[in-house]
Amino acid sequence: MAETAVSLAGQHLLPKFLEAVNMLKDLPNEVADFTDELENLQDFINGADKVAEAEEDDSRRDRIKKRVMRLREASFRMEDIIDEYMICEEKQPDDLGCVALPCEAVDFIKTLIHRIQIAYKIHEVKSIVCKERDGFKSVFPVEETPNKSRGNQHVTWDRLRMEPLYTEEDKVVGFDGPKDQLKDWLIKGKSELTVIAVVGMGGQGKTTLAKSVFDSKEVFRSFDCRAWITVSQSYTVEGLLGNILRKFGKGEMNVSTMDRLSLIDEVRDHLRHKRYVIFFDDVWDKNFWHEIEFALIDNKNGSRILITTRNEEVAQLCNISFIQVYKLEPLNEEESLRLFCKKAFQYGSDGCCPDELRDISLKIVRKCKGLPLAIVVISGLLSQKDKSALEWRLCTQNLSVALERNSEFSIAKILSLSYDDLPNNLKSCLLYFGMYPEDCEVKSNRLIRQWIAEGFIKLEEGKTLEEVAQQYFDKLILRNLVQVCSFTIDGKAKRCRVHDLLHEMILKKMKDTAFGLYIGDRNQSISGEIVRRLTIAAGSEELFGSIDGSFVRSIQIILNRNVSEHLLRRIPNKFMFLKVLDSASISFKYVPKNLGNLIYLKYLRFMGSSWTLPKSIGNLQNLETLDAKDADFSIVPKEISKLRKLRHLLVSRFASFEEVKDSLGGMTSLEVLHTLILDDNGVMIRELAKLNKLRDLRLDCLMK
């Protein structure tokens, strides 16, 4: 009987054992394929999101969103498994000779078991992804549904784009100065071909301004021929050149059958002896100029090209000697109110605001922050309401809801155009502004370090992660999605923010995509929601208890001290997979001793007084940024020197490095070190010499 039992056990266990061995052998390749599959799934999710947005039936849209959320949850699990594998591999010794001691052998076996578990998780999640994706495609075809709905969408956007094209010049508000400047650049100046770029965020009035200049008598009289060409995102070079010829009266030519070279020749021939001006409206592609420049001959008689764009890179990449850039500024309060009144009271009051509505009108205008599109949309909405203070107050109590109901002219949809045009990594970087309060001016270096910790920044050859992240940051600024509030001495952005209306759109996108959640109301309900990132600005014990900590990868705390410290005690156990923990908005009395449980943590920022860092901080082997410059602790513990991946160490000028002065040189990943008090025996100077990646060092109290 015993032999039979052993034989049966062997028949069952041996195949399982061999399967596990093969899975371990193939695990690196499996993870590589798994990573590629994650990227494909994320692209599929982007397409599925567009299907949901294009769907007009509410119930069907909700069903699509639920299916997309299941796909998104699977993608989160894939990300987590990849992270788990990377950490597991770092624990794995290079060869079996390293496991001579019994304790090391036990650790080695544990790691093997962990790797087998990861392999099984990969197979399980792959099966789930395949099932969910196939199920989605069978019910909601990703390719067909958007194309079916896109026609209606174009009708809406065509109406939005046509309105500024047919605005009479005397109705344009707040553009007197910009109009005069643009006319001056167009009519006067050098004889060489000059490009003029009007740059501004979506809805800022670029098209309205440009069209008023284009239609002005001065411009009409100053050029032999002129053309207005709407470019948008889906242009072709052949289509643009054909439109130019048609605008110049060459409709009799069969331009639709001509190839690019023939079109270029025809355009050049027509413009050769003329002083011409061409306005290209709504340019998105930064390579636009390189594609059309050969057709635009420089005949040295004062010809001009004017471009409107949201992306300043479009202007920067114009390979031409003479270029002028005009950055459109928001309307001031007086101009905003004038525009608002012209639209809101265009029926019956001849653009005059009744006295009883003046205060509420000012409140609305201030909320729009000088953005013409916002003013036009809101005033257009209110022009259809009764002219009573009570009615308007009810409408404006929840302005964003009112705008969403008026979907045809929704500001959020207009701002979404700029968002949808971003690559996935830049989308994540922009959405991160939703982790901060509205109107918050965020330090750019803080954002950049958080983006890196989150994994948004992809390493490029010959560049540091910070350099790549700075490029991402600059792109968001150039696209007029991020506003710079202050600059460093060398001209870089120091603090930045996003427009309030863009912040509202970001919060909605965060929720729809499960990117993150900003808790600003203690009564806010989050039951059943997947939460990937969390900002806690208000809340209760019950609220925190309802959060599934296994999905959360980032927490920012901006509560009062009592609630924050209670929450902080729970974080190392409830949110064990955190990558980012930022609690520097409130001063703590202590840091939890079990902080070292957060082995995935890459970014840690906090402030406080009269405490010491726990010894368990040495367990944070993946920590890249420790920002405690606003924390008042006296000693940097020796365990810090164990953090071999630490690249940014920022501590108070009062913190002593006495315990780590002999091992500081072993922290070879350090790039930024603030603030170091040097000793008088040269030990730390010798240790600093070993930090060959150090690029930013701040010293204090240098002793002789």
pLDDT at 608: 67
416-450 pLDDT per residue, tens: 767 887 888 899 999 999 999 887 889 999 999 99
| pLDDT given for residue 144 in this prediction | 38
Can you tell me the mean pLDDT for 152-158?
A: 41
163 in a structural domain: yes
- Residue 414 CA to residue 336 CA, distance in Å, equals 19
| Structure tokens belonging to residue 435 | 């982790």
CA angle 519/524/526 to nearest 5° reads: 85
CA distance 158 to 282: 13
Question: Cα dihedral sign for 383, 387, 392, 394?
Answer: negative
Residue pair 86/622 in contact (Cβ under 8 Å)? The answer is: no
Whether 616 and 596 have beta carbons less than 8 Å apart is answered as yes
Same domain, 563 and 622: yes
CATH number for the domain spanning 640: value is 3.80.10.10
Least Cα distance to 75 among 506, 425, 430, 515 occurs for: 515
Average pLDDT on 212-233 reads 91
**Do 570 and 590 form a contact (C-beta atoms < 8 A)?**
no
pLDDT digits (tens, 9 = 90+) for 560-614: 555 566 777 788 888 889 999 998 666 666 778 888 899 999 999 987 665 677 8
Using CA atoms, how far apart are residues 606 and 289, in angstroms rounded to an integer?
47
Determine the Cα–Cα distance for residues 82 and 117; give it in Å rounded to an integer: 12
Whether 522 and 491 share a structural domain: no
pLDDT in tens, 603-642: 999 876 656 778 888 999 999 999 988 777 667 888 998 9
257 with 286, same domain: the answer is yes
Strand ranges inside 122-224, DSSP E: 194-199
| 96-100, 380-384, 530-534, 653-657: least confident range | 96-100
| In a domain? residue 517 | yes
Pick from 327, 358, 389: which residue ends a domain?
327
Question: For the chain, how many helices (H) and strands (E)?
Answer: 24, 18
Instruction: Identify whether the C-beta of residue 517 lies closer than 8 Å to the C-beta of residue 529.
Output: yes
Q: Do 452 and 579 share a domain, yes or no?
A: no
Question: Is 50 exceeded by the pLDDT of residue 64?
Answer: yes
Q: Are residues 344 and 259 in the same domain?
A: no
More confident residue, 459 or 203: 459
**Percent of the chain residues topping a pLDDT of 70:** 80
pTM for this predicted structure: 0.75
369 lies in the same domain as 314: no
Q: How many domains does the chain have?
A: 5
Structure-token pair, residue 684: 């730390």
Tell whether 31 is covered by a domain. Answer: yes
Answer yes or no: are the C-beta atoms of 119 and 23 closer than 8 Å.
Answer: yes
Q: Work out the pLDDT band at 277, boundaries 50, 70, 90.
A: very high
Residue numbers of the domain that contains 458? 427-477+486-498
pLDDT value of residue 163: 52
**Dmax of the chain from CA atoms?**
108
Query: Cα-flanking dihedrals φ and ψ of residue 619, to 5°?
Result: -80, -10
pLDDT at 588: 66
Residue type (1 letter), 349: S
Q: What is the pLDDT of residue 401?
A: 54
User: Could you give the CA distance from residue 200 to residue 328 in angstroms, rounded to a whole number?
Assistant: 5
In whole angstroms, give the CA distance from residue 274 to residue 269: 10
pLDDT for the residue 6: 42
Kindly tell me if the per-residue pLDDT of 469 is higher than 90. Answer: yes
Q: Is the link from the previous residue into 675 a cis peptide, with omega within 30 of 0? A: yes
Task: Let me know whether 232 and 321 are in one domain.
Answer: yes
682 pLDDT higher than 80: no
Reading phi first (left if > 0) and then psi (alpha if -120 to 50, else beta), residue 316 is in alpha
Element (H, E) at 517: strand 517-519
User: Is residue 300 scored above 70 in pLDDT?
Assistant: yes
| Domain membership flag for residue 358 | yes
Cα gap 663→686, rounded to integer Å = 11
Q: Which of 263, 207, 270 is nearest to 237 (CA)?
A: 263
Determine the 3-state secondary structure of 603 from DSSP.
strand
Same domain, 224 and 307: yes
Asked if residue 651 and residue 624 are part of one domain, the reply reads yes
Residue 150 belongs to some domain of the structure: no
3-class state of residue 550 by DSSP: coil
Mean pLDDT of the 547-556 span: 88
Classify residue 147: in a domain, yes or no. no
Indicate the DSSP class of residue 355: G
In the predicted model, what is the mean pLDDT of residues 318-325?
83
Residue at which a domain ends, from 82, 111, 142: 142
Same domain, 165 and 99: no
Q: Which is more confident, 20 or 518?
A: 518
Q: Which two tokens stand for residue 155?
A: 């009708």
Last residue within a domain, chosen from 359, 390, 413: 413
Q: What is the mean pLDDT of residues 9-15?
A: 52
Beta bridge partners of 676: 699
Q: Which residues of 203-218 are buried (b: 16+ CB within 10 A; e: fewer)?
A: bbbbbbbbbbbbbbee
By percentage, how much of the chain surpasses pLDDT 90?
A: 29
CB 277 within 8 A of CB 304: yes
| Domain assignment of residue 84, yes or no | yes
- Letter for the amino acid at 484? V
Single out the residue of 553, 526, 530 nearest to residue 540, CA to CA: 526
Q: Given a cut of 70, is residue 252 above it in pLDDT?
A: no
Give the residue-averaged pLDDT of 341-346: 83
pLDDT tier at 106, thresholds 50, 70, 90: low
For 678-685, what is the mean pLDDT? 72
pLDDT band at 333 (very low <50, low <70, confident <90, very high): very high
Identify any residues that bridge with 699 across adjacent strands, giving them in sequence order.
Answer: 676
**Angle made by CA atoms 174, 349, 162, in degrees to the nearest 5:** 50
Judgement on whether residues 76 and 186 belong to the same structural domain of the protein: no
pLDDT in tens, 125-136: 999 999 988 888
Q: Is the pLDDT of residue 244 over 80?
A: yes
Mean pLDDT computed over every residue of the chain: 81
Q: What pLDDT score was predicted for residue 414?
A: 63
Q: Residue 226: pLDDT above 90?
A: yes
For residue range 477-497, what is the model confidence (pLDDT) as tens digits? 877 788 888 888 888 899 998
Q: Is residue 148 part of a domain?
A: no
Q: Which two tokens stand for residue 145?
A: 């549904």
Same domain, 269 and 339: no
